[in-house]
Structure 1
Amino acid sequence: MDPVVRSVLAEALASDVRATELAPTGNSKRTVFATLADGREVVVQHATGDELATETALWRAVDARTDVPVADILAAGETIHPETGARHSYVVGERVDGVDLHTAFTELAPPDRDAVARTLGRSLGELHAAFPFERYGEVVATGAGLRVREASAATTSDWQAWFAEYLQAGLAGLGPELADLVPEVRAAVDLERLPEHPPATLFPWDLRPGNAILDERTGEVAALLDWGAPLAADPALSLAKAEYLVADWYAPDAPDAATADRVREAFRDGYAEHRPVPGVSRAYRLAAVVRSAYDSRGEVTRPGYPEREGEAAVAFHRRHLRAALGSPADREPEGETTV
């Protein structure tokens, strides 16, 4: 049994552990499902250092400021690994009853799938409305609340410069399977066509069905999970990535493009309940695909469910990069994108 989990639950909830199960996903943090001695089921996440501090602070802020469904936080703090002596941050949340939408989303009837997409879009719109920032960049927890991490003025107050670095980091992370497309992507992005001073709003890094739980009794999303690695950015960039992960990531392969278009429309309808839908440029669509194709370990991501792997995953990313390269350079915004 994970010694940190046992220690955390004994300290924070004064409870012994009956059983644990390691979550099959996750890179930098460790996620463990635990059944307590009294039968309660919880989720324990821990990581070295203070890595979970920002995620926990954002999780709490989302719960306090919005109606976005989240799990309850039962405890959070720091502990010392009982064997290594290393400092670990942790958060304990309720285990929400329901079905993992990563496995269930593609099996839903079209109206139910659209309803989930609409909820995810509504959630993103509400997050954008509730979390404005003054600059662009990595959001961190501070004594004064959630703030953009201090950095050079060029990367926090100059949107075009920030986006250039953001895209370049993604291109540098593309593996050899897609490296031949890098020159085309660079040539297709004209930074001068981007807005100069768009508003900065919360960019939740991984808002998608794979981080959502469905309540089968009601057919509604019971909780959105994973608030790690948040950014502050142009809301149109955040929209581009989220709708890609909702509409395209789980859609059948071509020629059934109508499925993705229908889900995308539902996602945008939900977003529009809170704020105007911003126009999405080709640059942002390219960035959405580039920054989703490889994970933080440099491994090709596995889109959809059942998950595509190996050559099928690479082919998926290539197809969507090609589609984004062929899309119009800019689209007329449906809502306000500058301040």
Structure 2
Amino acid sequence: MSDDAIDFPTVAGMVAACRGDWTLDSFERVEQGTDFVARVACSTPNGERRAVLKATIAEWMAPEIARAEPRLFELVGRETEIPVPEVYGFVDRHDEYPAPFYLVEERPGENFEGRPEELLPAARERVIREAGGNLAALHELGEQPRVGRVGVSDGDLAILPTDHDADSERELFRAGIDETCDALADGTYFPDYADEPQRFVDLAEPLRETLHARAGALTAPEPPRYCHWDYRYGNLLVDSETGETTAVLDWANLSVREPAHNLASVESHLFDAYGQDTGGRASELRKLFRDSYESARDDWSFTPAKRDRMETYLLKCRTEAMACLPLWLEDATPREKAVREREHREYVEKYL
């Protein structure tokens, strides 16, 4: 079912399926993302309540992966101090409505996707500091038996096989190298959005060769843990004045990887992915992030081996950013895209 076909009776029925004693009064579609997300106002036995309803309608998202999100909200909310919405109810399967879907608390805060520079310096520092603490708390949930994707099997959270049938960190990393470099050679992950599909074709094979060589030299990874690989401003709600992170969102499609890989992906999102203006403070903010993470982990430190692995993971993340440029900079001017291209080329040139 497309989001255009999700009308008031459908939303009312989905709310009732999650909470039988709630009645929908109104809803407002959130025009962001690939799933159906709506802010809803409901009459409940305890008075009016505002909440958020989300239904997975993106064809690329497997239902067994999407079903994990409300369960992860519950796990993380119960076991950590990471701010996540309270879950009011969820439905894994439904004969009439697009499923899975869930109903959660509406949290306060603002989304600063693509505009973190609008935050005051102290507020932005708080976002970064809390990011380090939140990732540490997630990783402290404990070691997991193998790498993979977090989904639901037989009604419970489970580690599902990867898209590449890889059963180790190194194998999964190598498979990701080929996937990303193939995308660069074919005109990036989003050729339909690419005004210059050949933008990075000349770098595809040199990057593949370099990354595979570095992958072969990686030291042994740590045991895998739950990883929120898409921890970025677009998945955070933030108090615009204080910088407090009031909610960490988008827990669908979580992975189980080594922590250093997760830290590299988050650093890439927070400091590099969109060429965000850090006011020349990228190194300072990165140190703040790492110090916050390290201080929140028990008996853990950034050893030289971990830093070396992160450097290789960051190069791979940069390659992914290049492959995602058409989508991430969809509304940018040709000049802005050219500037970002030059920044990417200058970054990877150091390794080729």
State if a TM-score over 0.5 links the two structures: yes
Q: Deviations over 1:163-182 (max 9, x none)?
A: 11022222233322333221
Residue type of the alignment partner of 1:137: G
Between the aligned residues of both structures, percent identity stands at 23
Judging changes above 3 Å, is the alpha-carbon distance between structure 1 residues 309 and 218 closer, same or farther for their aligned structure 2 residues?
A: closer
- Larger mean CA deviation between 256-265 and 109-118 belongs to 256-265
Residue type of the alignment partner of 2:132: G
Match of 1:24 in 2: 31
* Residue segments in structure 2 that go unaligned for 5+ positions in a row: 1-6, 58-62, 189-196
Judging changes above 3 Å, is the alpha-carbon distance between structure 1 residues 96 and 120 closer, same or farther for their aligned structure 2 residues?
A: same
Q: Deviations over 1:221-251 (max 9, x none)?
A: 1111110111111221111110111122465
Judging changes above 3 Å, is the alpha-carbon distance between structure 1 residues 156 and 285 closer, same or farther for their aligned structure 2 residues?
A: same
How many equivalent pairs are there?
316
Judging changes above 3 Å, is the alpha-carbon distance between structure 1 residues 20 and 122 closer, same or farther for their aligned structure 2 residues?
A: same
Match of 1:302 in 2: 328
Judging changes above 3 Å, is the alpha-carbon distance between structure 1 residues 56 and 93 closer, same or farther for their aligned structure 2 residues?
A: same
SS at match of 1:133: coil
Judging changes above 3 Å, is the alpha-carbon distance between structure 1 residues 257 and 287 closer, same or farther for their aligned structure 2 residues?
A: farther
SS at match of 1:286: helix
Aligned-residue offset at 1:119? 0.4
Aligned-residue offset at 1:151? 6.2
Q: Provide the C-alpha distance between the structure 2 equivalents of 1:300 and 1:9, rounded to a whole number of angstroms.
A: 36
Judging changes above 3 Å, is the alpha-carbon distance between structure 1 residues 54 and 220 closer, same or farther for their aligned structure 2 residues?
A: same
Judging changes above 3 Å, is the alpha-carbon distance between structure 1 residues 5 and 171 closer, same or farther for their aligned structure 2 residues?
A: farther
Q: Provide the C-alpha distance between the structure 2 equivalents of 1:133 and 1:317, rounded to a whole number of angstroms.
A: 37
Listed as ranges, the matches of 1:246-325 within 5 Å are 246-249=270-273, 252=276, 258-275=280-297, 276-277=301-302, 278-279=306-307, 280-293=309-322, 300-302=326-328, 309=332, 311=334, 314-315=337-338, 318-325=341-348
Please tell me whether the aligned partners of residues 115 and 266 of structure 1 are also in contact (alpha carbons under 8 angstroms). Answer: no
- Larger mean CA deviation between 209-218 and 240-249 belongs to 209-218
- Is 1:58 matched up with 2:80? no
Judging changes above 3 Å, is the alpha-carbon distance between structure 1 residues 34 and 104 closer, same or farther for their aligned structure 2 residues?
A: farther
Please tell me whether the aligned partners of residues 87 and 105 of structure 2 are also in contact (alpha carbons under 8 angstroms). Answer: yes
Judging changes above 3 Å, is the alpha-carbon distance between structure 1 residues 153 and 110 closer, same or farther for their aligned structure 2 residues?
A: closer
User: Paired residue for 1:80, among 88, 94, 99?
Assistant: 94
Match of 1:334 in 2: none
User: Paired residue for 1:120, among 112, 131, 138?
Assistant: 131
SS at match of 1:232: strand
- Is 1:211 matched up with 2:235? yes
Judging changes above 3 Å, is the alpha-carbon distance between structure 1 residues 183 and 302 closer, same or farther for their aligned structure 2 residues?
A: same
Residue type of the alignment partner of 1:75: G
Q: What root-mean-square deviation, in Å, do the aligned CA atoms of Structure 1 and Structure 2 show?
A: 3.0
User: Paired residue for 2:207, among 152, 173, 185?
Assistant: 185
- The normalised TM-score by structure 2 is 0.78
User: Paired residue for 1:228, among 244, 249, 252?
Assistant: 252
Judging changes above 3 Å, is the alpha-carbon distance between structure 1 residues 272 and 2 closer, same or farther for their aligned structure 2 residues?
A: farther
Judging changes above 3 Å, is the alpha-carbon distance between structure 1 residues 326 and 71 closer, same or farther for their aligned structure 2 residues?
A: same
* Residue segments in structure 1 that go unaligned for 5+ positions in a row: 330-339
Judging changes above 3 Å, is the alpha-carbon distance between structure 1 residues 311 and 196 closer, same or farther for their aligned structure 2 residues?
A: farther
Residue type of the alignment partner of 2:81: D
User: Paired residue for 2:178, among 168, 172, 181?
Assistant: 168
Q: Provide the C-alpha distance between the structure 2 equivalents of 1:287 and 1:30, rounded to a whole number of angstroms.
A: 31
Aligned-residue offset at 1:197? 4.2
Listed as ranges, the matches of 1:39-50 within 5 Å are 39-47=48-56, 49-50=63-64
- Larger mean CA deviation between 276-285 and 241-250 belongs to 276-285
Match of 1:332 in 2: none
Judging changes above 3 Å, is the alpha-carbon distance between structure 1 residues 136 and 313 closer, same or farther for their aligned structure 2 residues?
A: farther
Q: Provide the C-alpha distance between the structure 1 equivalents of 2:134 and 2:94, rounded to a whole number of angstroms.
A: 36
Residue type of the alignment partner of 1:8: M
Aligned-residue offset at 1:132? 2.1
- The normalised TM-score by structure 1 is 0.81
Q: Deviations over 1:252-300 (max 9, x none)?
A: 46xx7722222222211221122323414443112212334556xxx82
Aligned-residue offset at 1:95? 0.7
Q: Deviations over 1:178-214 (max 9, x none)?
A: 3322112112211211124432122213101221112
SS at match of 2:12: helix
Determine which structure has the larger helix proportion and give its number.
Answer: 2
